[in-house]
Amino acid sequence: GDSVTQMEGPVTLSEEAFLTINCTYTATGYPSLFWYVQYPGEGLQLLLKATKADDKGSNKGFEATYRKETTSFHLEKGSVQVSDSAVYFCALSEGGGADGLTFGKGTHLIIQP
């Protein structure tokens, strides 16, 4: 079946550092890929998405590129802020987001001032 693997952390960085959170996936078809963010005590919010190979999703300074050859969708940000502290989930959908999402375990990111 489908699966998503991501580093679990916690990942601790200083403010303005460069961020990479790795995500790799296994899927039978050609899935859509997503990054969701969960702030403490809240539900998940869609951060960005990509629906086909070589697509780049971007939002709020975060980027991720859909790499079919390496089955990866790594999340990057050039300069993190304290407000980026949260749990980040990589997810896939075989149905373009209109079916149940398969999530990774989540990466807890802590940004220190």
Partner 1 sequence: DSGVTQTPKHLITATGQRVTLRCSPRSGDLSVYWYQQSLDQGLQFLIQYYNGEERAKGNILERFSAQQFPDLHSELNLSSLELGDSALYFCASSGSVGEQFFGPGTRLTVL
Based on the shown chain and the rule CB under 8 A, indicate whether residue 97 belongs to the binding site for partner 1. yes
Minimum distance between the CB of residue 20 and partner 1, rounded to whole angstroms?
21
Based on the shown chain and the rule CB under 8 A, indicate whether residue 99 belongs to the binding site for partner 1. yes
- What DSSP line would sit under 51-109, residue for residue? -STT-EEEETTEEEE-BTTTTB--EEESS--GGG-EEEEEEEETTTTSSPPEE---EEE
What are the C-alpha distances in Å from 44 to residues 74, 91, 106? Answer: 18, 12, 11
- Answer for which of 35, 57, 86, 106 binds partner 1 (CB under 8 A) is 106
Q: What are phi and psi of 82, to 5 degrees?
A: -55, -35
| Positions 21 through 80 that interact with partner 1 (CB under 8 A) | 32, 36, 41-46, 49
Tokens coding 68: 């079919």
Give the distance, in angstroms, between the CA of residue 44 and the centroid of all CA atoms in the same chain: 12
Based on the shown chain and the rule CB under 8 A, indicate whether residue 10 belongs to the binding site for partner 1. no
Minimum distance between the CB of residue 100 and partner 1, rounded to whole angstroms?
3
Minimum distance between the CB of residue 47 and partner 1, rounded to whole angstroms?
12
Residue in the structure block whose two tokens are 């304290």:
82
Minimum distance between the CB of residue 43 and partner 1, rounded to whole angstroms?
4
Residue ranges in contact with partner 1 by CB under 8 A: 32, 36, 41-46, 49, 89, 93, 95-106
